[in-house]
């Protein structure tokens, strides 16, 4: 609830102050709480929405959110349906070849395995992951049989139904899922660090826009507001990995 009020406050401030500014369309998946999701009122909310609105305010841009399927999120950026991606997308070399990233707004975080018991075989069994994620790439190379799904939700459902022995995904996504499963799911003690953190994806040719967002992200790192946002209870919680002093270098 608090999120909604804050988010709509940010939108209002935006509309009042920057009515004539350039409109930037931000693409997101809307199925990955707490990064981005559609709440029960049918609005796009989450950490990235609040962050994105704040970044737009700092960069003097008017932003609007567009929901897009994960599978086609990069092609639709390239064909110009929106101008930037904020969808919990980790910065990887493969993606750097086709799009550009801003500096990360979430530090490199852990990916975890979740299964029905703690002793499942994650090296030789069937492991579920979302299509086109760094986790899917990692599973494919780990020797396990990769079972891909279009949405994060389905990867967890596959473990519950026994289709896969474990799911491999961002730890921040899995922690609340495990906590609320009533003991049905357990987190395996096998965290892996993947990718270069989460950043905003833009078209290669949009250097000017990338510069604006880069500056806005840096300014939020410098005044500590980004760390505060990450550590908020409804997003990643006080125990989340934050930038800390490393983020303040060069301020």
Partner 1 sequence: MFLDCSAPKTLEGLAWASCYLTSGKHIDFYWAFVVVLALLACTAPMALMFGYGGATAARSHSLPVRMFGKCYIAMVRGIPDIIFFLFFVIALDQAIEWTKHQIVCPDWTEPVRQGLEFKVCPAAKVPQAGTAPVVHQIYGFGLAVVTFSIVFGAFVANVLYGAMNAVPRAQLETAEAYGMTHRQVHRRILVPQMWTYALPGLSNLWLILIKATPLLFLLGVRDIVYFARELGGSKTQAYEYPHPDWRLWYFLGLMAFYLLMTWGSEKVLRRLSARLSKGQATAAGEALRKAGAVA
Taking the complex as a whole, how short is the minimal distance between the CB of residue 221 and partner 1, in angstroms?
25
80 sits near partner 1 (criterion: CB under 8 A)? yes
Q: What is the DSSP letter of 3?
A: H
Rounded CA-CA distance 44/86 in Å is: 12
**Among candidate residues 172, 182, 168, the one with its CA nearest the CA of residue 232:** 172
**Residue (27 or 107) nearer to partner 1, CB:** 27
User: CB atoms < 10 A from the CB of 161, how many?
Assistant: 9
In the β-sheet with 36-38, what is the strand arrangement from edge to edge? Answer: 31-32, 36-38, 44-45
143 sits near partner 1 (criterion: CB under 8 A)? no
Buried b (16+ CB within 10 A) or exposed e, 122-159: beeebbbbbebbbbbbbbeeeebebbbbebbebbbebb
Rounded CA-CA distance 62/23 in Å is: 5
Taking the complex as a whole, how short is the minimal distance between the CB of residue 218 and partner 1, in angstroms?
26
Binding track over 103-142 against partner 1, x by CB under 8 A: ----------------------------------------
Q: Which stretch binds partner 1 (CB under 8 A): 29-37, 110-118, 210-218, 222-230?
A: 29-37
Contacting residue, 6, 18, 58, 67, with partner 1 by CB under 8 A: 67
182 Rama class: left (phi>0) / alpha (psi -120 to 50) / beta? left
234 sits near partner 1 (criterion: CB under 8 A)? yes
Size (the chain), residues = 251
Contacting residue, 62, 111, 130, 135, with partner 1 by CB under 8 A: 62
157 sits near partner 1 (criterion: CB under 8 A)? yes
Rounded CA-CA distance 143/204 in Å is: 34
207 sits near partner 1 (criterion: CB under 8 A)? no
**Residue (212 or 218) nearer to partner 1, CB:** 212
88 sits near partner 1 (criterion: CB under 8 A)? no
Backbone angles phi and psi of 143, in degrees to 5: 100, -15
153 sits near partner 1 (criterion: CB under 8 A)? yes
8 sits near partner 1 (criterion: CB under 8 A)? no
**Residue (81 or 225) nearer to partner 1, CB:** 81
Taking the complex as a whole, how short is the minimal distance between the CB of residue 72 and partner 1, in angstroms?
8
231 sits near partner 1 (criterion: CB under 8 A)? no
Rounded CA-CA distance 172/112 in Å is: 9
Residues that bind partner 1 (CB under 8 A): 1, 22-23, 25, 31, 33-34, 37-43, 62, 64, 66-69, 72, 75-76, 78-81, 98, 151, 153-154, 156-157, 160, 176-177, 179-180, 203-205, 234
């Amino acid at each position: 609830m608090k999120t909604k009020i804050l988010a709509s406050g940010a939108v209002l401030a935006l509309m009042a102050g920057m009515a004539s500014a350039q409109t930037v369309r931000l693409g997101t998946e809307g199925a990955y709480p707490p990064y981005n999701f559609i709440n029960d009122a049918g609005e796009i909310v989450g950490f990235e929405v609040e962050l994105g609105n704040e970044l737009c305010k700092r960069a003097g841009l008017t932003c609007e959110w567009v929901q897009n399927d994960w599978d086609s999120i990069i092609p639709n950026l390239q064909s110009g349906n929106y101008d930037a991606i904020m969808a919990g997308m980790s910065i990887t070399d493969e993606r750097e070849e086709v799009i550009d990233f801003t500096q990360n707004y979430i530090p490199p975080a852990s990916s975890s395995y979740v299964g029905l018991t703690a002793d499942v075989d994650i090296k030789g069994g069937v492991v579920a992951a979302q299509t086109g994620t760094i986790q899917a790439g990692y599973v494919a190379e780990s020797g396990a049989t990769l079972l891909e799904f279009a949405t994060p939700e389905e990867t967890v459902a596959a473990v519950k139904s026994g289709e896969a022995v474990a799911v491999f995904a961002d730890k921040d996504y899995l922690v609340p899922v495990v906590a609320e499963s009533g003991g049905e799911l357990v987190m395996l003690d096998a965290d892996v660090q993947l990718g270069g953190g989460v950043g905003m994806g833009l078209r290669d040719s949009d250097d000017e826009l990338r510069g604006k967002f880069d500056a806005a992200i840096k300014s939020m790192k410098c005044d500590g507001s980004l760390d505060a946002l990450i550590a908020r209870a409804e997003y990643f919680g006080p125990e989340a990995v934050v930038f800390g002093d490393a983020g303040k270098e060069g301020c």
